[in-house]
Amino acid sequence: MKLMIATAAMLLAGSGAAFAQDAAAGEKEFNKCKSCHMIVADDGTEIVKGGRTGPNLWNVIGRKAGSVEDFRYGDSLVAAGEAGLVWDEETFVAYVQDPKGFLAEYLDDSGARSKMSYRLRKGMEDVYAYLVTVSPDAGS
């Protein structure tokens, strides 16, 4: 019995982040992002009409940073992608809170810069959960 309780407690503790995420709330929070970002599927289906200042965020989760063809990324983000940065929950949440600081730490380069000046102060996990829903390759 104690083993079952301990196992259940471990499962619940380990899944806390999943319960904290809300894709529907993230979709609403994404309204702050769409002034710079759009979400357009590979077949051209427009999921979120948005700006073109930032890259298309279709299938962003699980994607190497700085890798959307024909988008002009900053040098530091491209370097981070070349160094192995792939967008997952941990990296996405840290990046959107402080893009410049994240890249400086990731690249161990105090001169690293990001073209993304906006910082998301809350709801990052929810936006991540929403972006998972428009990232069909996220699990592969």
Half-sphere exposure of 51 (CA within 13 A, CB side): 10
pLDDT in tens, 7-32: 333 333 443 444 458 999 999 999 99
Do the Cβ atoms of 95 and 124 come closer than 8 Å? no
43-54 b/e with 16+ CB inside 10 Å = b?
eeeeebebeeeb
In this predicted structure, what is the pLDDT of residue 19? Answer: 44
Q: What domains does the chain contain, in order, with CATH numbers?
A: 21-133 (1.10.760.10)
In this predicted structure, what is the pLDDT of residue 140? Answer: 62
pLDDT in tens, 68-85: 999 999 999 999 999 999
For residue 48, the surrounding DSSP H or E stretch is strand 46-48
